[in-house]
Amino acid sequence: MRENVTVFEHPLILHKISLIRKKECGTREFRTVIGEIATMMAYEILRDLETELVEIETPMEKMQAPMIRGKKLAIVPILRAGLGMVDGMLSMVPSAKVGHVGMYRDEETLEPKEYYCKLPEDIDQRLVLIVDPMLATGGSADAAVNFVKEQGAKQIKFASIIAAPEGVELLSEKHPDIQIYCGSIDRKLNDHGYILPGLGDAGDRIFGTK
């Protein structure tokens, strides 16, 4: 395990990941639980935000209270499955801006193809959290990180719920400057680039498509 990779061990995160792995987990439950996992992951990922003392007044008296030190945040989902994590993270940081990177994977070559990229104008001044429920081959994640860097982002974190060892290795090797967070690192990829045991296609399960 590389130093820039963190795997969550919180029992609530692990429990909820097990729920969405079940093939009988329906679209509504899957979508809800993905959001809940994203909320808990955001709580852990952002624990290093700096605070500063600000004067406030309680019903009893004035005091110096810790508040987040004005760091701007951008959440950037990789379309389309990454959208399933956005609302859960926004529930923790509702002031965050949201960008989008559209990627799809060529089913024959497994190479990522970009079709859309829209980011906040001040992306270079923001902590950027790129999210995708699945980190499989790592190709799409690598491409998305490159796109965001090309737009000027200097502080980037990447979060996935389920990851394959191959994807974690590729992303951490190509981008040692970013921190990678995973809910689970599974066994391996199959011949079609799907994670085993995994949970199937996250995008299809979030949006009820096939």
Which residues, other chains included, contact 128 with Cβ-Cβ below 8 Å and sequence gap of 6+?
Answer: 73, 74, 76, 99, 148, 153, 155, 156, 157
The pLDDT, as a whole number, for residue 111 is 72
Percentage with pLDDT > 90 across the chain: 79
Q: Using one digit for the tens of pLDDT, what is the confidence trace for 96-128?
A: 999 999 977 676 776 777 788 899 989 999 999
177 is catalytic: no
Q: Could you give the angle at the alpha carbon of 190 between the alpha carbons of 107 and 208, nearest 5°? A: 60
Beta bridge partners of 97: 74
Backbone angles phi, psi at 103, to 5 degrees: -130, 150
204 is catalytic: yes
Catalytic residue among 47, 48, 109, 191: 109
Using 70 as the pLDDT threshold, list the residues of the chain that sit under it.
Answer: 1, 70, 105, 107, 110
Catalytic residue among 21, 32, 87, 105: 105
The answer to whether 79 touches 102, Cβ cutoff 8 Å, is yes
Catalytic residue among 6, 32, 87, 201: 201
137 is catalytic: no
The answer to whether 160 touches 182, Cβ cutoff 8 Å, is yes
The pLDDT, as a whole number, for residue 53 is 95
The pLDDT, as a whole number, for residue 103 is 78
Catalytic residue among 6, 32, 87, 204: 204
132 is catalytic: no
Which residues, other chains included, contact 86 with Cβ-Cβ below 8 Å and sequence gap of 6+?
Answer: 38, 75, 77, 98, 131
